[in-house]
Amino acid sequence: MKIIMRVCVNCGSSAGRSPAYLDEARELGAHLAAEGIELVYGGASVGLMGAVADAVLEAGGRAVGVIPKALADKVVHGGLSDLRIVDTMHERKALMFELADAFVALPGGIGTLDELFELLTWAQLGMHSKPYALLNTAGYYDGLLQFLDHTVNQRFVRPEHRQMLLVGDTVPSVLEQLRLYEPPVVEKWL
C-alpha cells in the first residue's frame, strides 16, 4: 500500500450548479486533514478550490497553494499554510506535480481537464507513476468516462492506459484507490 503524504486536488474555481459539488469538496478536505494528508492545489479562495482548502484548514490540516502572479491579486487564499507564487501556469502545474504524491479531480472546467489530461499523458508515456483519481460527484464525469471508453474501443488508447484513471463516487473509495494503485507496464503505442 502506497503512503500518500500530499494530494494535489484539481477542481473548479466556481462552485458549479449542484450543492453536492461543494459538499464533496468539503468532505474531501476534511478527510485529507483527518488522515494527515496535506493538500496541494491552485491557491484560490473561490469555488470548489476555496471550499476544499477551507475544509482542510478548519480541520487542522495543511494546505499548500500554488498560484501564478497574474491570479494572485484576484483570488488568492489568504490563510494557507504555505503559498507559492509562480510566474506562469506551466510553472504552477510543474510545481504542483513535484509536490504531490497523488492527484484527485473534483468537478471543474477547462483548467481542471487540462491538468487531468496533462498528467495522464505523462503517465501514459511512462514519465511518472503517481496515481490520479476522479471523484465522480453526482455523476459529473460520466460523459467524460464514456468518451474515454470510446477512445479504447476505437483503438486510440490501450485498455491498460484507460485504467490508469481511477474513478470513485465517495471520498473514502478514491483515497483507498490512490493507496492501492499500481501503474501498468505496457508500451504506449498500439
The string of DSSP letters for 17-54 reads S-HHHHHHHHHHHHHHHHTTPEEEE--BSSHHHHHHHH
Tell me the three state secondary structure of residue 133. strand
pLDDT band with cut points at 50, 70 and 90 for residue 67: very high
Residue 40 is assigned to a structural domain of this protein = yes
Distant-in-sequence, close-in-space partners of 25: CB < 8 Å, separation ≥ 6: 11, 48, 51, 52, 55, 106
Residues of the chain by 3-state class (helix, strand, coil), percent to 5: 45, 20, 35
Residue 188 is assigned to a structural domain of this protein = no
Looking at this protein, which amino acid is placed at residue 84? R
Domain region containing 147: 6-180
**Residue range 100-122: mean pLDDT, rounded:** 97
Q: What is the pLDDT of residues 52-63, one digit of tens each?
A: 999 999 999 999
pLDDT at 190 (0 to 100): 59
Residue 86 is assigned to a structural domain of this protein = yes
Residue 173 is assigned to a structural domain of this protein = yes
Residue 190 is assigned to a structural domain of this protein = no
Residue 189 is assigned to a structural domain of this protein = no
Average pLDDT, rounded, for the chain: 96
- For residue 188, pLDDT over 80 is answered with no
pLDDT at 189 (0 to 100): 66
The number of distinct structural domains making up the chain is 1
Contact of 38 with 64, CB cutoff 8 Å: yes
Q: What is the pLDDT of residues 1-45, one digit of tens each?
A: 889 999 999 999 999 999 999 999 999 999 999 999 999 999 999
Question: From CA 107, how far away is CA 91, in angstroms rounded?
Answer: 23
Q: What is the pLDDT of residues 128-150, one digit of tens each?
A: 999 999 999 999 999 999 999 99
Domain harbouring 122, CATH code: 3.40.50.450
Residue 124 is assigned to a structural domain of this protein = yes
Tell me the three state secondary structure of residue 60. coil
Residue 71 is assigned to a structural domain of this protein = yes
